[in-house]
Structure 1
Amino acid sequence: MLSEKTIAIIKSTVPVLEVHGTAITKRFYQLLFTSHPELMNVFNHANQRQGKQQTALANAVYAAAKYIDKLETILPAVKQIAHKHRSLGITAEQYPIVGQNLLQAIKEVLGDAATDEILNAWAEAYGVIASVFISVETEMYKEAEEQHGGWAGYREFRVERKVRESSVITSFYLVPQDGGAIASFEPGQYVSVKLDIPGETNTHIRQYSLSDAPGKPYYRISVKREDALPGKPAGVVSVYLHEQVKEGDVLLLSAPAGHFTLDLKDARPVVLISGGVGLTPMVSMLNTLADTKSDRQVTFIHAAQSGDFHALKQQVEEKVNQTSGATAHWCYAQPTAQDTGVFHKEGYIDLPWLQEIIPSKDAAFYFCGPTPFMAHINRLLLQWGVPAADIHYEFFGPAGSLDEESEKAAVTN
């Protein structure tokens, strides 16, 4: 346990971290990759370039400092990060490396303000926080390996089928190369795909939501091709999967992980809302409810640019038709002439439409999509009076924030 003095010192740094947190984490990653370049094989390079990873870490450090005397408050966030660490293969031996470089970054960014007393307090606090992560992740590694069909590290899976779902999304049906059983998973979870891409210096690891129900002889991931945009390069991994990976090829997968899961014990109605490729965990949830013949009322809502970009539409409609009390609703921002009669709303999701198609706000709400989209949906649900405890969402990539800044982006983009 931390001493009262250490806790007081850590909490005194909260205002400083609020201002300089991102500068500290930016410098941290520079130091980390310089001293341990092998870790470039673990981290998502695109998130590094876009600053998402630095911001996520800054938020985590800030929360740890703010609640250093009540670490149980941040346990849900710890578990979320621990799932990602387990899927990436982060080891206990890497935590001291992280701690050393984080303290060095604090010292460099804060300069004389980072007194020996502050640095010693942070070293002590980091040790406690790291031990919490290591303990949680150790259990996760054990569970992933010892469950039926489970495994440690990465396992070879063969691409049994490759199916084009829309103009930008393709599904990959993956079966174990060794012919053995595969671990079950909770609807909403993801797997890590590890790739050595010709011409790339480092290994690339990406997480993709499983887009079908558990209990199948395969895992399915549905990947959006991330093409280049002004100021944003094309997605190295997604383009490689779309263009180069073919049926019969072998990919390396981690065992399923993730905290964003459908609560199957909740008997209340469920509302699944998605934007773009964010429908992948939602489809897994829908398929699970359909396959288990759940009598829960299900409202499935999906937003896409147009029918050309709408993946898995026919499959969702089939599952909805097989499920008593289930409905599906499509919102197209820019429908084409070919979309006439196949969508339900033009433009963007708004509260009056949600209130029209959702029978009751007394339900469990799950949503996923681009951050501005999720900020918009979150604001609508809170405006409607949906309790925060009934609102569940998933970020693709480092955890972000559904704050007013994200909402502004939703309005201006």
Structure 2
Amino acid sequence: MNASLDEKTRAILTACLPVLEADGMRIIKEMYARLLVKQEIRDLFNMSHQEDGRQIEALAYALKAFTRHIDDLSELKNMVERIAEKHVGLNIRPRHYPFVADALLGALADILGDRATSEIMEAWGKAYWFLAHILMDREAQIYHAKEVAPGSWTGWRSFTVRACVKESDLVMSLILAPSDGRPIMRHQPGQYLSIHLDIPSHGVALRHYSISSDPGHETYRISVRRAYKGLASSWLHEKARPGMLLQVSAPSGDFTLVEPMPKSIILLSAGIGLTPMMSMLGALSDAQTRRPVHYIHVTRSPETEVFAEDIPRHAQSGKIRADIFYSRSKPNRIDGAVRRHAGRLSPDWLKDQIDPEATCYICGPDKFVHDMVCILRACGLPKSRIRYEFFGLASVEDLVA
């Protein structure tokens, strides 16, 4: 991210920022209308995010962030890393980038109309390929790392569903074992698997699911929440059975425990956002170095709670302190290892728990992540010690970058 565009191009892009503020959503909507005509590209997208507008919104935010930081793109290194990891999980390759270039530049010309001068279009062409090459270079590095890592693979690999475990009315875990019987890549706690589904009468659906199991060499566990009108999640809940084959790409994602281990760690999650935290808790419980670890989770009620036995087990090890908040109910059990609270997690309570030297990990719905980030920043924690993952696509602009 040290390279930069030439001064003239940067000046033109900066001058276009008001246009992006006013028409960014229209530009991206038109871009997708052009792009998704091609089935090869359409199959790479979660179409439910197209239907509810979140994919359009997220990319519009990313385009504005790129333009705002055009003079110092180092501010976008986390965004670039997140996108590159997603692309590798979906097996996106350099051959896909020209499709996006044609669609984006065509949409810009269409929406800008007479304002789309040759200078402006040339500048945006340079900007797109500049960013595209940054992503392609990083993705090439990630692909290479997977090629040489023990047990890893590139592309899609067949896995067999070994077991289906009902965690709650809405959450089911799938235990996945490689169909070829060979070892698998030991994932980093917090990473996800990308799953390639071919759903009858719907076609290809690609989804990311966090790995909720401890790092190992034999199986992965993913825990799928059945989303309202969720095509892939509903199909898995209804059809997944032991023996079913699924196509899976190697673990990806940058929402992982940082090294060296910080002085203390706070894990914050809400709802199904606890899935990557379970992998982190397992790794931290097994770690030889002792660091204070505080896990804080929010769920609606005891009925929506999942991994109800796993969290106390980790807390009983003495290495982890745990609090669970039931936002719409009261606890139905008491145990010495986990403190359970009725009602929402309040900012004042959280502020009292913050170790100023802690590194914090946050995962959950966009609003939860945004609220937690704001509280932690207000407590004086620097950005470098606030790490977060949101499921789906961010609908809060300042989380995108």
Deviation at 1:364, TM superposition (A): 1.0
Maintained 8 Å contact 1:209/1:221? yes
Whole-angstrom distance in 2 between the partners of 1:359 and 1:64: 32
Contact 1:260 1:393 in 2 (8 A): yes
1:206 aligns with 2:207: yes
> 1:191 offset after TM fit, Å?
0.8
**Any runs of at least 4 consecutive aligned residues in structure 1 with deviations exceeding 3 A, and if so which?**
340-343
1:28 to 24, 31, 34: 31
Aligned residue number for residue 13 of structure 2? 10
Alignment of structure 1 residues 173-192 onto 2, 5 Å? 173-192=175-194
Is 1:367–2:362 an aligned residue pair?
yes
**Contact conserved, 1:350 with 1:380, CA < 8 A, in 2?**
no
- Contact 2:61 2:397 survives alignment (8 Å): no
1:350 has 2:341 as partner? no
Is there any run of 5+ residues in structure 1 with no aligned partner, and where? 228-233, 405-413
Once the two structures are superposed, the pairs formed by residues 7-406 of structure 1 within 5 Å of their partners are 7-34=10-37, 36-200=38-202, 202-227=203-228, 234-322=229-317, 324-335=318-329, 339-341=332-334, 344-356=340-352, 358=353, 360-401=355-396
CA distance in structure 1 between the partners assigned to 2:126 and 2:358 by the alignment: 43
Q: Which runs of 5+ in 2 are unaligned?
A: none
Identity fraction in percent: 37
Instruction: Give the direction of change, closer, same or farther, for the CA distance of 1:292–1:217 in structure 2 (3 Å limit).
Output: farther
Q: Partner amino acid for 1:331?
A: F
Other structure's SS at 1:62 match: helix
Higher strand share: 2
TM-score, normalised via structure 1 length: 0.91
Residue type matched to 2:276 in 1?
Answer: P
Q: C-alpha distance in 2, partners of 1:298/1:4?
A: 47
Per-residue CA distance 1:353-393 (angstroms, 9 max, x = gap): 2245x363321111111111222222222333333322111
Change over 3 Å in CA distance of 1:377–1:74 after alignment to 2: closer
Aligned partner of residue 344 in structure 1, secondary structure: strand
8 A contact 2:183–2:217 mirrored in 1: no
> Aligned residue pairs: how many?
393
> Whole-Å Cα distance in 2 between the matches of residues 68 and 355 of structure 1?
35
Across the aligned residues of Structure 1 and Structure 2, the Cα RMSD in angstroms comes to 1.8
Are the counterparts in 1 of residues 14 and 68 from structure 2 also a CA contact under 8 Å?
A: yes
SS at 2:190 equivalent: coil
The farther-off stretch of 133-142 and 63-72 is 63-72
CA contact (8 A) 2:14 2:67 kept: yes
- Residues 396 and 165 (structure 1 numbering): CA distance in 2 closer, same or farther, change over 3 Å? same
Closer/same/farther in 2, CA of residues 223 and 294 from structure 1, 3 Å limit: farther
Change (3 A) 1:297 1:113: same
Report the AA paired with residue 263 of structure 1: V
CA distance in 1, matches of 2:22, 2:111: 11
Match of residue 407 from structure 1? none
Task: Provide the C-alpha distance between the structure 2 equivalents of 1:223 and 1:89, rounded to a whole number of angstroms.
Answer: 22
Q: Distance in 1 between matches of 2:369 and 2:131?
A: 30
Is the partner of 1:317 in helix, strand or coil?
helix
> Quick one: distance in 1 between partners of 2:397 and 2:333?
33
User: More deviation in 386-395 or 215-224?
Assistant: 386-395
Q: 1:73 to 1:267 in 2, by over 3 A?
A: closer
| 1:108 Cα offset (Å) | 0.8
Structure 1 stretch 97-106 or stretch 290-299: which is displaced more? 290-299
**Residue identity in the other structure for 1:383:** A
| Distance (whole Å) between structure 2 residues aligned to residue 379 and residue 121 of structure 1 | 35
Is the 1:172–1:222 contact (alpha carbons within 8 Å) kept by the matching residues of 2?
yes
Please give the TM-score of this superposition, normalised by the length of structure 2. Answer: 0.93
Residue pair 1:17, 1:62 contacting (<8 A) in 2 also: yes
CA distance in 1, matches of 2:333, 2:311: 19
Using a 3 Å threshold, how does the CA distance of structure 1 residues 264 and 3 change in structure 2: closer, same or farther? Answer: closer
Q: Matched residue of 2:42: which SS?
A: helix
Question: Does structure 2 retain, via aligned residues, the 8 Å contact 1:334–1:347?
Answer: yes
